[in-house]
Chains A and B, each alone.
Chain A
Amino acid sequence: MIASPKPDLITVNVDGREVAVPKGTNMIEAARLAGVDVPHFCYHEKLSIAGNCRMCLIEMGLPAVDPATKAPITDAATGKQKINWVPRPAIACATNASPGLHIRTVSPLAKDCQQGVMEFLLTNHPLDCPICDQAGECKLQEQATGYGRGYSRFIEQKNVKPKRTVLGPRVTLDDERCILCSRCVRFCKEIAKDDVLGFTDRGSASTLTCYPGRKLENNYSLNTVDICPVGALTSTDFRFKMRVWFLKKTPSLDAESSVGANTVVWSREGVIYRITPRRNDEVNDTWMSDSGRLLYRAVAAADRLTAIKVDGVDGTLEAAATAAAWLFRTGGVALVGSGRSSVEEQFVCARLAAKLSAAVYLPSRAGEGDKLLISADRNPNTRGALVAGLIAALPAPGLAELAAAIDAGRVATVIAIGEDLAAGLSAAQLARVSLVYVGTHRNATSDAARIVVPSLTMFEKSGTFVNQQFRLQKFSAAVPGPAGATDDLVALTRIMAAAGGAALPAELNALWTVLAAEVPALATALYRNLPDTGLLLDRTPWAHLPFVEGETLHFKP
């Protein structure tokens, strides 16, 4: 069924199928809307049009009109308006939809063009798929299968080019595989604003290279690996580690800053191999930072906490919760929450703090924004803490207030969730209080704590963050946590129960019925139904706060 023609929609015809598309849509996208794949290499939705691979050659035609009267000319045989087919093929990526435009992607000419371009691309391609990292996610493989002839007529010597050019600290180039599509060149220039890549030499000897004296070392360099349609640009970190078809894909988020770039975590048998961006046109398009891709290393770090400790002795979660409740009974409790905790954890923290009449502290994490996908607020979930009611004002840097309260003797016990207090407190101040620490890695706080409950990294648990746009976004557990670690929600709800507080469910869907009922901003949101691209919350209750973020890719303060 065709959508009813709106004023901004025009009808085009793809392989005989009519489809209504927005004016100015290029014919690759128009065909996609009609359910037709037009093969392509150099075209990328988020980059300028280069038109160099010639894989998307199609036949195009326009409705015939009488040159004098502009009246439509009808084809006597079909009774429809005659189509004037252009004798030369055109590239679909640079052909924009115009009213009545017809294209053929499966005609003999279009097929011949596709087969010709595929044959040309493979003449100088090494065909080393068995040792190539791109195998399994290679556009050259896919389109050779889908659109190639299936045999080769090339008996000459192939070009020999460098196989392992180091372009920068994270990207290695296999030049023989490069099909010179220029996606990486355009990405660096147009998105990363770091015009560092280009071609030298000419013809078939053309070679991708950095400008003299430069390196591909910007914090977005690995996006060139993502968009490389072949195995030419490889991630030095991921290279030769794992076949992509063995990997499980889990949707996640980049926790580096309040941008909340959408990501995919690729894992196998409990081991994470790489993180790549997940498309969200409202947040990060198809990009993410290099630094965000390395965060998975925290999972298998040597300093992970793996044993519950109560006064230095291994214990159970029950023992830890009971011991914590014993410390809380005298009052004078302070809770240090985290802008890295999920909305759900922050909500339970807020309830725990209310139960214990604890003062709440939440250290800010300020950095410089890069105007792209890393913002000045390096906590991914500051707004979550506001929404969940853990804090009412923007967090301050450091823990000066807590330090003063300890010095004044008003604090006997501190429960810290994932935050290292050494960032704001002296060793002496740490020693003056009883510490309960729920966290993932060993640090000064865990060393000083009387009770330690090892918890999970964001790759091992599920939850939600609220990004700088007040967009509620979901991340999911990619791998199981290490033995001995407890889900933060389980730990916090048990401590809450031991302290005599209300019973809160630790299971996310159950907890969300409580959140929806008690948190006004989340009244209509439901964890189960949260779209992959997130849900914008009403930001008006916090519109008066002076947030620190500057402009980033899809965000203006």
Chain B
Amino acid sequence: MPEQRRLIFQHIDEPGYTPDLACYLRQGGYAVLRKAVQRKPEELIDEVKKSGLRGRGGAGFPCGVKWTLVDRKSGKPIYLIVNADESEPGTFKDRHIIHQDPHQLIEGIMITCFANNVRQAYIYIRGEFPHGAAILERAIAEARAANFTGPSVLGTAYGCEIYVHRGAGAYICGEETGMIESLEGKRPYPRIKPPYFPAVLGLYQCPTIVNNVETLCHVKHIADMGGEAYARIGTPNNTGTRILCVSGHVQRPGYYEFEVGKVTLGQLLNEVCGGPLPGRKFKAVIPGGSSAKVLKFGERYKGKRKVGAEMVDYDWGLEDVPMDFDSLALIGSMGGSGGVIVMDDSVRMVDALANINAFYAHESCGQCTPCREGSQWMKAITTRMVRGGARPEDGALLKSVADQIAGRTICAFGEACAWPTQSFVQKFPDEFKAYAETKKADPDSRAFELA
């Protein structure tokens, strides 16, 4: 069985480990920040660039590059927004950091702020995490009292305040420009890019960095061990560790931290998670949160891929695919937020898609046409299907509607709502064609009550 490597989750679920400052200090907490504030900020940015750290929120964008894009010449303040809106279905890693190890996050935030000359950081936490928000407020107060944040960090001339802002419960607030609008007190309508790239025109029209909770925790470890040492963890271009949240039909669902790319999907599900439930077989898996494209067991993927500088042949079954950003992208899905959703042979794919579509139709902000009307239309079709009104042509119609959304919207929600439909229909066309018959034979709806 592949060994976990717990970097971020080192103390999660550790007996006796508490979220207060005293406990964190006992474990050597804030030692990295203490060293970091004695260094040049540019060195820290350099370490992050060398580390190859990729964003853990969903897009996998290189963190060092993101920081480099920030407009530092405008003379405007630079803001950091911590994306704690963890709302991608199937993802539950950030909440454990916030609940059990908030000071690790605060230390990561402070190192990031110091490196980027940020004087104000906002933690945007989803409305559904009231308890997490309270824990963060408490932890920030503790850290401030001990001068880890505040007007003079650890006795230096550098000062930085961290504020917690609670969302009101909308998926779209996790989109960085939607989050910025929400933080400004408006409806979280994502902004058009160009011109509103956060690195240039972000919060209050100032340059802004938006990073995920887990990403910022990694920054602490990069500052600690150095970018080059961190880059040796994981695999090339997929460095470090990442937390995989496995949910659905496995024996042992939960969160597991591995070096990126050092565990295959088969090892994860069969060995780490104990395989399928008794008497069942794996049917499909969504590897990176519900908006990632679904993968079908039994599929094979062949081609050439880049390993280092060389092109190497690969011939994988689904179980052989390494759980890293590039490999999952190569087979047509994505690492996304790390939420692995497993479905076994008891699942009817139309029912599963109906649930996903209901979610995205409910969460579309309604700003731009294709997503607003398309997500609702897809939901209407799949809902009609599970309620007994399926037509053989519905699968093709669903796919066509989804094709009219992806790539044509203001923000990535267009892809998020279209990709499930596109992939479900593409991978399981026969189930969609035969769904009317399936319902006749077994009329019980296995879909959750649809909103």
Chains A and B come from one and the same complex: yes
Across the interface, name the chain A residue whose C-beta is closest to B394: A155
A153 to B404, CA, bound (A): 13
B window 369-417: CB within 8 A of A: 369-370, 372-377, 380-381, 384, 397, 400, 404-405, 407-410
Interface size on A, residues (CB 8 A): 35
Q: How far is the CB of B121 from chain A (nearest CB, A)?
A: 28
- State whether A198 and B187 are in contact (beta carbons under 8 Å apart), knowing that A54-B409, A120-B374, A204-B376 are contacts in the complex: yes
Interface pair A154/B364, CB less than 8 Å apart: no
Interface pair A89/B408, CB less than 8 Å apart: yes
A27 to B370, CA, bound (A): 21
The answer, yes or no, to whether B15 is at the interface (CB within 8 Å) is no
Q: List chain B residues, Cβ under 8 A from A198.
A: 187
Q: List chain B residues, Cβ under 8 A from A154.
A: 377
Across chains A and B, the number of contacting residue pairs, with CB separation under 8 Å, is 95
Partner of A203, one of B361, B370, B381, B397: B361
Interface pair A203/B375, CB less than 8 Å apart: yes
A89 to B410, CA, bound (A): 11
Q: List chain A residues, Cβ under 8 A from B110.
A: none
The answer, yes or no, to whether B363 is at the interface (CB within 8 Å) is yes
Q: How far is the CB of B231 from chain A (nearest CB, A)?
A: 26
- State whether A156 and B409 are in contact (beta carbons under 8 Å apart), knowing that A91-B192, A202-B364 are contacts in the complex: no
Q: Which of A50, A116, A117, A201 has the most CB of B within 10 A?
A: A116
A119 to B400, CA, bound (A): 12
The answer, yes or no, to whether A124 is at the interface (CB within 8 Å) is yes
B window 185-240: CB within 8 A of A: 187, 189, 192, 194-195
- State whether A203 and B187 are in contact (beta carbons under 8 Å apart), knowing that A52-B368, A117-B369, A120-B377 are contacts in the complex: no
Interface pair B370/A180, CB less than 8 Å apart: no
The answer, yes or no, to whether A497 is at the interface (CB within 8 Å) is no
Interface pair B365/A202, CB less than 8 Å apart: yes
Across the interface, name the chain B residue whose C-beta is closest to A125: B373
The answer, yes or no, to whether A53 is at the interface (CB within 8 Å) is yes
- State whether A117 and B370 are in contact (beta carbons under 8 Å apart), knowing that A89-B408, A91-B192, A203-B375 are contacts in the complex: yes
A window 110-132: CB within 8 A of B: 112-113, 116-117, 119-121, 123-124
The answer, yes or no, to whether A492 is at the interface (CB within 8 Å) is no
A203 to B379, CA, bound (A): 12
Across the interface, name the chain A residue whose C-beta is closest to B192: A51
A205 to B361, CA, bound (A): 10
Partner of B381, one of A57, A156, A206: A156
A window 161-179: CB within 8 A of B: 179
- State whether A206 and B366 are in contact (beta carbons under 8 Å apart), knowing that A51-B192, A123-B373, A198-B187 are contacts in the complex: yes
The answer, yes or no, to whether A511 is at the interface (CB within 8 Å) is no
The answer, yes or no, to whether A157 is at the interface (CB within 8 Å) is yes
Interface pair B377/A156, CB less than 8 Å apart: yes
Interface pair A205/B366, CB less than 8 Å apart: yes
Partner of B404, one of A49, A50, A116, A202: A116
- Per-residue contact bits, chain B 334-373, to A (CB 8 Å; 1 contact, 0 not): 0000000000000000000000000001111111111011
**B-contacting residues of A (Cβ < 8 Å)?**
49-55, 57, 88-89, 91, 94, 112-113, 116-117, 119-121, 123-124, 153-154, 156-157, 179-180, 198-199, 201-206
Q: Name the 6 nearest CB pairs between A and B, nearest first.
A: A116-B404, A120-B373, A206-B366, A156-B380, A203-B364, A204-B376
Provide 19 A-B residue pairs closer than 8 Å at the C-beta atoms, listed in order of the A residue: A51-B192, A51-B368, A53-B368, A116-B404, A116-B408, A117-B404, A117-B408, A120-B372, A123-B373, A156-B377, A156-B384, A157-B380, A179-B369, A180-B366, A180-B369, A180-B372, A202-B366, A203-B375, A204-B372
**A-contacting residues of B (Cβ < 8 Å)?**
170, 172, 187, 189, 192, 194-195, 361-370, 372-377, 380-381, 384, 397, 400, 404-405, 407-410
- Contacts A54-B409, A121-B373 aside, 18 further interface pairs with beta carbons under 8 A come to A51-B368, A52-B368, A52-B369, A52-B410, A53-B369, A91-B192, A113-B404, A117-B408, A119-B404, A120-B372, A124-B376, A180-B366, A180-B367, A198-B187, A203-B362, A204-B361, A204-B375, A206-B366
